Homo-oligomer: A and B are copies of this chain.
Amino acid sequence: MINKVVSNVKVAIQDIKDGDTLMLGGFGLCGIPENCIAALVEKGVMKLTCISNNAGVDDFGIGLMLQKRQVKKMISSYVGENAEFERQLLSGELEVDLIPQGTLATRCMAAGYGMPAIFTPAGVGTEVAEGKEVRNFNGKDYLMEYAFNADFAIVKAWKGDTAGNLIYRSTSRNFNPVMAMAGKVTIAEVEILVEVGELDPDHIHTPGVYVHRIFQGSNYEKRIEQKTLSVKS
C-alpha cells in the first residue's frame, strides 16, 4: 500500500497558493474541513476560487476566509446565513456563481469519473441556462454542464487509513466523496486515522487512489447551525 499520511495540516496545505481553485466539502457547517480552513486563514493565501455548496456563517467555516478577503470567487448553490458574504457580494468585492446543488455535485462527480460534461434538466428556462448549450433528449430539454477543474479538493472524513481510504459519518458525507474524487490534489482530514487493514474494504466510501494527502485532524468544533429539538411530551 502507498502511504498518504502527512504530518500535519500545515504540510498538507503548504503548496496551496494565491489564485488557486479549491473544492471544499461540507453542507452548511456539517462535514466541513475545519482544520484546513483554519490553516488557510492562518496562511493568508489570497484570490482563491472556492467551490463549496455553502459559504459558511460569519464566524465559522468559509466565512472565516471571507472575513480576511481571501476569496475572489465563490461557486455555490446556497449562500444565505452570512452577512459579510452579502456585503462583499453587493459591493462587488466578491464574484459569485450560483448554480443548482445537483449541478454542483454532478460537475464534481464528472471530474472524478473522467466525464468532461454532463446533461441536467436543472435550470432549463432560467437565467442559469444563459450561454449554455441546451439539448433535447426524448422530448425533454437538458443543459450541458462541464466537469469542474480544481487545483485542490479539501475534504473531511470521519475515519481514514494511511492508504487514504475514507469513511464518512452520517450526513457529514454530503459533497465530500464527490469532491475527493475531483481534485488534481486531494487533501483529506479525518477525525480518526488508523492503520491499513483496520477498515472494512466493503465499507470504504472513498478509495485511497483519490486521496493524495491525509492527516489526523484535531479540536473539531462541529458547530450546529440550526439546533432544532423535539420536546418530550
Binding site for B on A (CB under 8 A): 106, 113-121, 137-138, 140, 142, 146, 167-170, 173, 201-203
A120 to B118, CA, bound (A): 11
Q: A118-B115, A119-B117 are in contact. Are A167 and B202 (CB under 8 A)?
A: yes
Contacts of A120 in B (CB 8 A): 114-115
Q: How many copies does the complex hold?
A: 2
**How far apart sit A48 and B34, CA to CA, in the bound complex (Å)?**
53
Question: What residue in chain B is nearest A102 (Cβ atoms)?
Answer: B114
CB < 8 Å: which of B106, B167, B170, B202 contacts A170? B202
Question: Which B residues lie within 8 Å of A115 (CB)?
Answer: 106, 118-120
What would 14 A/B residue contacts be, using CB atoms closer than 8 Å?
A106-B113, A106-B115, A114-B121, A115-B118, A115-B120, A116-B119, A116-B140, A116-B142, A118-B118, A137-B146, A167-B202, A170-B202, A202-B203, A203-B203
Q: Which residues of chain B are within 8 angstroms of A168 by Cβ–Cβ distance?
A: 202
Q: Which residues of B contact A142 (CB under 8 A)?
A: 116
Residue of B nearest to A167 (CB): B202
- Complex formed: what's the CA distance from A173 to B207 in Å? 15
Give complex CA distance A201, B168 in Å.
Answer: 11
Say how far A114's CB is from chain B's closest CB, in angstroms. Answer: 8
